[in-house]
Structure 1
Amino acid sequence: MRPRLVIVGAGPRGTGLLDRIAANAPELYAGTGLDIHLVDPHPPGAGRIWRAAQSPLLWMNSHAEDVTMFTDETVRMTGPVRAGPTLHEWAGLDGRVFADRRIQGRYLRHVHDRAVADLPEGVTVHHHPHRALRVSGPRDGRQRVWLEGRTRPIPADLVVLALGHLDAEPDPEQAALAAYADTHGLVHLPPDFTADSDLSALRPGEPVLVRGFGLAFVDLMVLLTEGRGGRYHEDTYLPSGREPVLYVGSRRGVPYHSKIGYDWTGDRPPLPRFLGPGEIDELRARPGGFDFRRDVWPLVEKELGFAHYHRLFAAHPQRTAVAWGDFEEKYAAAEGDAEIRALVAAAVPGPADRLDLAALDRPLDGVRYGSHEEFQDALRARVTEDLSRRHDPRHSPDLAVFLGLLSVYGQLVRLGDIGSWWHGFFSYLASGPPGPRLRQLLALSRAGVVRFVGAGMTVTARDGVFRASSATVPGYSVAARALVEARLPEPALGRTRDALLRELRTDGAAESPEGLLRVDPVDGRILDGAGRPHPRRFALGPFTDARTPGAFTRPRTGGPAFRQNDATARAVLAFLTGGSGTAGGAGGRGEP
């Protein structure tokens, strides 16, 4: 029988893996034939998130020129670079536009089709539009992938799980709120992909509590305003009368920072500098392990600070008080937060030019307002200031910090599960909404369609309603008969609704402290409870402890997902050829 590879998940991650198989097969695959089976109920390439069947009002949150599925020489991998067009080059778009998600889905289909076309002769791809329910089979023998609606499994020499984002069961608090809603005739919408949520129960003119201020909230905002017939005239929102009133809050109480709206000029910061492969190796080798806040976060802070000040001294030297060489030497030698703060205070006169990550992370900590209306005015002013800064190249150290965040994320992937805080912090600073979306938010706030609740928003269920409050406005609360949890489902194995992952967990696959599937950081092989890599099962994606910022990325930024895809593709091809299956390890242009 011909060798068989089954890839469960044919969206962006599965497509990226297929592209790296096509790139590496001429060098590594010596077989005479191979069947690759893609298992996904959604279309190959686009998958669920980027499928055509969704509202054209929903955008990507990156400029079209900042989206690529193809590798370049900045990706530290062993396999060959396989260049290709960015989204804007392929689609003929202005590079500065925010394309709608259906266009991205067509781009992903192009990448998929190109990868299939470039596979060696004798390699055939089959798509099965079904859900995978479980994987069975001995460690040292062929696997069997069981599909929904099929009585016979697909035999497989190797299985790769590239499942992407998944649905989850509610946590205990959400379950209690949902039960309360059922008992009292209320509406509770759990974490979900907003495009898939049934929003029809959110009635016109009625208050709706929204917990979450990130990208899921932005989608909700769009679908409940423009999606219900409202429109914008310059900076004014003209309601249709079908909108509910959204009372939104979160832990931070503010929306994610706007996407930066200008291009980079000049030399980039030489990254990594203080958090690179050597530091990661040292952290991984510590006999007693490491603590993120104690051992890792200071390195992250120093790396991001270096990116920030390198740019400030290079592009805006008139706003500094010492020579870069002197500052760099002292910054490198400085130990501890207090020493760095003293150095920066002496070298950078303007407080607005100093990087304060704690203030960025929790801008409303300790801030109080005397009334709900006073807070509305203040938060609109804050969003307006953020928009202005993120579109002004005089503040280009912000873009340097963004590049630093990408570099840091690429390094931290090798540490495995470091907790959820870092991923949220990264998204808040680096993966926020397009500027036009925040301008729409301001217009909706002025129109009274969106109301801000504050930081640390709490929700209680009593007296037959949900009630939200925040310490940001002492004494204020709002009652509503509907509550939306505007965030993605958590990827923990213990709560996933995916049958295949539940079965893997039952069969003994290892979990990280955060409940993620543990994988070998070298090539993505699934680990068991004893830490042994499975010889025939791999996993890539946000449900693993090697999760990356996304399956595609900005060109020339290293793309850690591309690095992982390459390592897994090489391990798969080496195994199927009869090799050791470790071809994706150290060597070549870098270790994954």
Structure 2
Amino acid sequence: MSAARPPRHSLVVVGAGPRGTGVLERIAANAQENEGPWRLDIHLVDPYPPGGGRIWRQDQSPLLWMNSQAQDVTMFTDDTVELDGPVLPGPALHAWAGLDGRAFPDRRRQGGYLRWVYEKAVAALPEGVVVHHHARRALRLAGTRHGRQQVWLEDRPRPLLADAVVLTQGHLDAELDAEQRELSAYAARHGLVHLPPDFTADSDLSALAPGQDVIVRGFGLAFVDLMVLLTEGRGGRFEGDRYLPSGREPVLHVGSRRGVPYHSKIGYDWDDALGARPPLPRFLGPAQIDELLAREGGFDFRRDAWPLIDKELGFAHYHRLFTAHPERTAVAWTDFEEKYAAADPLGAELQALVAASVPDPADRLDLTALDHPLDGIRHRSPEELQEALRGYITADLERRHDPAHDQDLAVFLGLLSVYGQLVRLGDLGPWWHGFFSYLASGPPGPRLRQLLALSRAGVVRFLGAGVRVSTEDGVFRATGDTVPGAVVEARALVEARLPQPTLARTRDRLLRALHAEGAAATPTGLLAVDPADGRILHRDGSAHPRRFALGPHTNARGAGAFTRPRTNSPSFRQNDATARAVLDLLRDLDCRAAAA
């Protein structure tokens, strides 16, 4: 008598962008370990094409670049990744596309790479596994904890049935918060333009008229996209250090809490001839994370974790300075290292040690000063501020492209190490992620050179730090701390930043319903998941056996959109753990069916 055929299983993955594609790649890699045949349907649910998803879809402006060099983007594991599944190497973006590794490709090129990775993962799935793409939105998830799940899709009368569900929706839209609702209502009453937080590539910018004054709040990567689409995107062009307007550009008055753009991407590679990379982690590693997690009553990020982060980044910085540029130090590295290790983080002893050992203040690491570069700085006029900010951006560009300051690259490596450790602590709130992006994930150098050209052409005007927006006399008014008394009035306001979708405010109907039904939220409103395998947590602390979630809408979020090769990426580790947990669940169901 022939053996009974195993039951056919079903897995639903909601979100077919980079994270969903990464989970699929890990399922393909780990499924090869199965001794018997697979009978599995994988349903990918996403209105956008698999691979790139919404953010990296190929039908967007070619003017929009990636924020990473091509050599720093990979979707494949390597031997640095600490995972239980098999390592399956593959090409980074530059090798796949035949690009200069230092190039910043446009996002459409990245979308092509992601589509290829998706197709490669599908082709690698074992015989008996079939992938179905549903170009729809998922609306609701139902089902008992120990039974099949039902995933309801728009414009489909019957749900998809699933033995397991993985939610990888990525970045989400959000309902307006109270402030944005008030601003939007004010704009409607007075015939103004108000563009709330959004993905700039999806925003309708046609309401911003040529020559119109526009207040822009936000100086990060969303602003860079806005700047590009409203200048080159309207027919202007750059010639060297000059911008030649088309006449269709508005005037962008930009400011933020810090009042400066994110730091430029570093424009050189690590020179091994000058010394090895800093041995990381040193002061914030697994043992320190274990201790923080074990603290009775929990831990406070600023009080307990930040001092360790500061010391870790300082160690990376000074390791490179002392070993590669000893002429700029006053003592031997071995003596400094011993005293540095013994000193309390953020304490006076450590500060005195650095002051005595590093003569030039420009060679010392001061994270507080980096985070608040305009604190205490006041200018007498807006024109004085324009000149000063151009000088600040020029100095940042020069430093970030000068290997004489390669301790900055060491700090960047330290930030990657720190992020990889902190992922175990869960949701640390928006400040840490913003600080990381400000130092480590800023725009390519050419974008800041374009910003300087736009400033000189009068298309961009700087507002400085501490920008506040008020609504008076039928217009928007912007004031700030850097030029006391200066006021900019405008009939248009753009919030140049991504939405912050909590479970309570996300426009994703499935996630909002899950939260209403008992899925746990972190203190800042993210979906709470088990860090071990991504299983969704209930408010009573229990993990759902059949529901998983990964990505920026959860506390299992990565350090950036993509992974640099050979950095033991947390995203790869999470994807692998979740894929293995899903496959273990399906194998367990097979065993139960065989025993029945």
Q: Under a length normalisation based on structure 2, what TM-score does the superposition of the two structures give?
A: 0.96
- Any residues of structure 2 matched to 1:479-490 within 5 Å, and which? 479-490=489-500
Shift of 1:300: 0.3
Quote the residue 2:231 is aligned against: 225
Is it true that 1:536 corresponds to 2:546 in the alignment? yes
2:334 match: 325
Question: Quick check: 1:431 aligned with 2:437?
Answer: no
**Secondary structure at the counterpart of residue 461 of structure 2:** strand
Distance 2:122 2:421 in 1: 31
Where does residue 478 of structure 1 map in the other structure? 488
Counterpart amino acid of 1:6? V
Between the aligned partners of 1:530 and 1:332, the Cα distance in structure 2 is 41
State which of 189, 192, 211 in structure 1 corresponds to 2:195.
Answer: 189
Please name the residue that 2:573 is paired with. Answer: 563
Residue 136 of structure 1 is matched in structure 2 by 142
Aligned to 1:83: 89
Q: Give, in whole Å, the separation in 2 of the partners of 1:135 and 1:159.
A: 9
Q: Which SS does the other structure have where 2:139 is aligned?
A: strand
Q: Which residue of structure 1 lines up, in the alignment, with residue 533 of structure 2?
A: 523
In structure 1, the residue matched to 2:511 is: 501
Question: Does structure 2 conserve the Cα–Cα contact (< 8 Å) formed by 1:308 and 1:355?
Answer: yes
Kept after mapping to 2: 8 A contact 1:6/1:37:
yes
| Change in CA separation of 1:28 and 1:473 when aligned onto 2, cut-off 3 Å | farther
Counterpart residue number, 2:315: 306
2:80 corresponds to 1:74? yes
Aligned to 2:22: 16
Query: Superposed, which structure 2 residues align to 1:188-587 within 5 Å?
Result: 188-266=194-272, 267-337=276-346, 338-578=348-588
Distance 1:508 1:9, change over 3 A: same
**Any conservation in 2 of the 1:16–1:551 contact (CA below 8 Å)?**
no
Kindly indicate whether the alpha-carbon contact (under 8 Å) linking 1:29 and 1:573 is maintained by their aligned counterparts in 2. no
1:148-187 alignment, distance < 5 Å: 148-187=154-193
Contact 1:344 1:354 in 2 (8 A): yes
Q: 2: CA distance between counterparts of 1:30 and 1:131?
A: 34
Q: Residue 552 of structure 1: CA displacement?
A: 2.0
Q: For 2:506 and 2:290, how far apart are their aligned partners in 1?
A: 32
What is the deviation of 1:173?
0.6
- Structure-2 change in CA distance of 1:498 and 1:145 (3 Å): same
* One-letter identity of the residue aligned with 1:300: I
| Per-residue deviation, 1:545 | 1.4
SS at match of 1:578: helix
Q: How many residues align?
A: 581
The structural deviation recorded for 1:471 is: 1.2
- Asked if 1:118 is matched to 2:124, the reply is yes
Aligned to 2:33: 27
1:168-197 deviations in Å (ceiling 9; x for gaps): 011111110000001110010011110000
Kept in 1, the 8 Å contact 2:37–2:127? The answer is: no
Q: Post-superposition shift, 1:28? A: 4.5
1:550 shift after superposition = 2.9
Indicate if the aligned counterparts of 2:31 and 2:125 stay in contact, CA closer than 8 A: yes
Residue 586 of structure 1 aligns with which residue? none
Q: Is the CA contact 1:551–1:561 (under 8 Å) kept in the aligned structure 2?
A: no
1:58 to 57, 61, 64: 64
2-structure distance, mates of 1:188, 1:231: 27
Aligned counterparts of 2:484 and 2:37: Cα–Cα separation in 1: 69
* Deviation sequence 1:4-53 (CA, Å, 0-9, x none): 11000000000000111111111257453111110000000010001111
Structure 2 distance, partners of 1:434, 1:29, is: 48
* Distance in 2 separating the partners of 1:179 and 1:130: 31
> In 2, distance between residues paired with 1:519 and 1:29?
30
Consecutive unaligned residues in structure 2, runs of 5 or more:
1-6, 592-596
CA distance in structure 2 between the partners assigned to 1:71 and 1:83 by the alignment: 5
Tell me the distance in 1 between the aligned counterparts of 2:121 and 2:440: 30
- The CA distance in 1 between the partners of 2:345 and 2:140, in whole Å, is 49
Distance in 2 of aligned mates of 1:213 and 1:430: 15
Alpha-carbon displacement from aligned partner over 1:382-421 (angstroms, at most 9, x marks no partner): 0000000000000000000001001101111110111111
Find the aligned partners of 2:380 and 2:463 in 1 and give their Cα distance. 13
Percent sequence identity over matched residues? 74
Q: Any idea what SS the aligned residue of 1:38 has? A: strand
- Cα shift at 1:559: 1.2
SS in 2 for 1:176: helix
Q: Which amino acid aligns with 1:554?
A: R
Distance in 2 (CA, whole Å) between partners of 1:143 and 1:109 is 28
Within 1, Cα distance between the matches of 2:423 and 2:141? Answer: 26
CA distance in 2, matches of 1:268, 1:558: 15
**Cα deviations across residues 124-166 of structure 1 (Å, max 9, x unaligned)?**
1111000000100000100000001101000000000000001
Question: Quick one: distance in 2 between partners of 1:226 and 1:477?
Answer: 28
Q: Distance between the aligned counterparts of 1:496 and 1:482, measured in 2?
A: 25
Instruction: Please give the alpha-carbon distance, in whole angstroms, between the structure 2 residues aligned to 1:459 and 1:300.
Output: 33
Over 3 Å counting, the alpha-carbon distance change for 1:427 and 1:3 in structure 2 is same
Q: Which amino acid letter does the alignment assign opposite residue 86 of structure 2?
A: P
Measured at CA, do residues 523 and 29 of structure 1 come closer, stay the same or move farther in structure 2, by a change above 3 Å?
A: farther
**Partner-residue secondary structure (3-state), 2:464:** strand
Aligned to 1:97: 103
Q: Which amino acid aligns with 1:85?
A: P
3-state DSSP of counterpart to 1:208: strand
Structure 1 residues 278 and 29 mapped into 2: Cα distance closer, same or farther (>3 Å)? farther
Structure 2 counterpart of 1:414, one-letter code: R
- Native 8 Å contact 2:293 2:425 kept in 1: yes
Q: Which amino acid aligns with 2:380?
A: G
Distance 1:580 1:514, change over 3 A: farther
Measured in 2, the distance between the counterparts of 1:303 and 1:28 equals 42
Q: 1:584 matched to which residue of 2?
A: none
The amino acid across from 1:477 in the alignment is V
CA contact (8 A) 1:30 1:577 kept: no
Letter in 1 for 2:498: L
The SS at the match of 1:60 is coil
Partner letter of residue 43 of structure 1?
P
Cα distance in 2 for partners of 1:551, 1:449 equals 30
Take 1:28 and 1:161, find their aligned partners in 2: how far apart are those partners?
A: 24
8 Å contact kept, 1:133–1:146: yes
What RMSD, in angstroms, separates the aligned Cα atoms of the two structures?
1.2
Partner Cα separation in structure 2 for residue 580 and residue 251 of structure 1: 55
CA contact (8 A) 2:308 2:345 kept: no
Q: Is the 8 A contact 2:423 2:557 kept in 1?
A: yes
Q: What per-residue deviation string (whole Å, max 9, x for no partner) do you get for residues 338-359 of structure 1? A: 1211111111111111000000
3-state DSSP of counterpart to 1:331: helix
What residue identity is the alignment partner of 1:68? T
Give the C-alpha shift of residue 551 in structure 1: 4.5
| TM-score (normalised: structure 1) | 0.97
State the partner residue of 1:590.
none
For the 8 Å contact 2:38–2:126, the answer to whether it is kept is no
CA distance in 2, matches of 1:105, 1:170: 29
Aligned partner of 1:589 in structure 2 is: none
